[in-house]
Structure 1
């Protein structure tokens, strides 16, 4: 057994879903399945009951889950202590953000840190911004660039670095602001599958008493911009996404009444992980630069 396999087991034990767990672990479902099978063979017990519909922990799996949490916690504690005792800061730091966030913020966040701590290995993963906080809470990532949720989890630290309006966008030609509620109901909408933007636009439609016509639900704001630029409908994205998009010239922003609440963009990490000297050094540097 190694710590990577233990983290994979813990992710699956928390999600009870091979697809979601493999995505968090950045591996394919078959690779995760083989890792779990190998772990079960080395232990000589079944850790999961699985069929075509669901995954659940066995009694032995629940006991092993408690052990793994404690083992990983102790390993992080001793690892942090050893790093603190060394004269030069070194270690590994995993960062998650969207492609847009990597363009907009990552250089400013990591440039000085990288120069000051060249022995720290940075691992960057990009993906759907709506999954950023989940990756941090699950322990799959140390830190993420994310939008501040309406309700921040109690064990999550968040530092605001920017504000971005949330805007309605349409193709340059062919779509104007719907003149009435009836026209809004007939207008094809391209929206995020989930996340903060989807929740806020849903509330907007409820306030307007409009039943929207959902043309497409997609993962990732960049995909919304692409579909809007092709003329498929009206979308909702953070303005910062549009500002960094190569398709911005094919889009225009609709100035609707009762605008959506803006995004607070920032970095987030688990409170307990801020004891890690590597993560703390980055966090404190961002605090200084953000003042």
Structure 2
């Protein structure tokens, strides 16, 4: 069975709403003969008369009124969907969903979101802030368009673009004796009470792998699941903690970070996206701003090292 085309249905709905072939032809930018052919073609396909036409008037038949009630909303919904998709393509609407590990949210996203909102004020930005494994899953399962994470480099389901190499540092209370040091060796930590993250944290795995050839660190005085909790423990004088540098508070009056040596331990924060999947226009625009901001922030550090 032949099916009506969208053009035929839109012609029928327009004539039915306006009750005028001349008015419908003008609205659809068609000649009246072309519009009449579409209506005749639709009536032929359906096997019913949809309009009673005279030289002076156009009136829907009973079946025509019933059919108009059925298809009018469908055509309107399709038109709205097309307009919505066009707006999203032009970044006049839509959304972008970004996954991000807790420690990287405040470093990377606020300035980029500010720039993105200035350029595209009608696009909604969603943030999924979770642990590393949850953020990776959000990308692989399609919940997030892309994400900032420090795992995924070996995962064939995602593409990993490095943005920043970040050191682990020793978090100390500002009045602690080690806070005045430029660096501390891992072996020196045995003389101080430590708080640390549990094996539920990917950060613990990174540290344990890096220190596999060193004597084990002493039993901690406290073990938590999240690095942000460690910072609170340090602020309250319960001990020292090893944390990624980005997790340190901007205000150094309570907690400071000291470089750890022998060996230095780092992690790489990167942008991950599903392998072989294209991004929406909104996500592409956000990624471009994010990559540019990352390059701009890295340039002063490179100049400082060369100096």
Same fold, TM exceeding 0.5? Answer: yes
Distance (Å, rounded) in 1 between the aligned partners of 2:131 and 2:208: 19
Of 122, 144, 147, which residue of structure 2 is paired with 1:144? 147
CA contact (8 A) 1:146 1:267 kept: yes
Q: Deviations over 1:13-59 (max 9, x none)?
A: xxxxxxxxxxxxxxxxxxxxxxxxxxxxxxxxxxxxxxxxxxxxxxx
- 2:97 is the counterpart of 1:91: no
- TM-score under structure 1 length normalisation: 0.58
The 1:160–1:252 alpha-carbon spacing in structure 2 relative to 1, beyond 3 Å, is: same
Query: Unpaired segments of 5 or more residues in structure 2?
Result: 1-80, 296-307
Distance (Å, rounded) in 1 between the aligned partners of 2:115 and 2:256: 36
Larger radius of gyration: 2
What is aligned with 1:226?
232
CA contact (8 A) 2:185 2:262 kept: no
What is aligned with 1:16?
none
What does 1:1-291 correspond to in 2, within 5 Å? 83=85, 88-89=90-91, 90-98=93-101, 100-129=103-132, 131-147=134-150, 149=151, 151-173=153-175, 176=178, 184=190, 187-244=193-250, 246=251, 248-291=252-295
Distance (Å, rounded) in 2 between the aligned partners of 1:164 and 1:180: 17
Distance (Å, rounded) in 2 between the aligned partners of 1:201 and 1:183: 14
Distance (Å, rounded) in 1 between the aligned partners of 2:100 and 2:193: 31
What is aligned with 2:43?
none
Q: CA deviation at 1:276?
A: 2.6
SS in 2 for 1:184: helix
The 1:192–1:265 alpha-carbon spacing in structure 2 relative to 1, beyond 3 Å, is: farther
CA contact (8 A) 1:165 1:238 kept: yes
Q: Deviations over 1:252-277 (max 9, x none)?
A: 43444313332322332223443433
Q: CA deviation at 1:172?
A: 3.7
CA contact (8 A) 2:168 2:265 kept: yes
SS in 1 for 2:220: strand
Distance (Å, rounded) in 2 between the aligned partners of 1:276 and 1:269: 12
Aligned CA RMSD, in angstroms, stands at 3.6
Distance (Å, rounded) in 1 between the aligned partners of 2:96 and 2:256: 38
SS in 2 for 1:236: strand
The 1:221–1:139 alpha-carbon spacing in structure 2 relative to 1, beyond 3 Å, is: same
Q: CA deviation at 1:216?
A: 3.0
Distance (Å, rounded) in 2 between the aligned partners of 1:173 and 1:86: 53
SS in 1 for 2:288: helix
- TM-score under structure 2 length normalisation: 0.55
Distance (Å, rounded) in 1 between the aligned partners of 2:203 and 2:261: 17
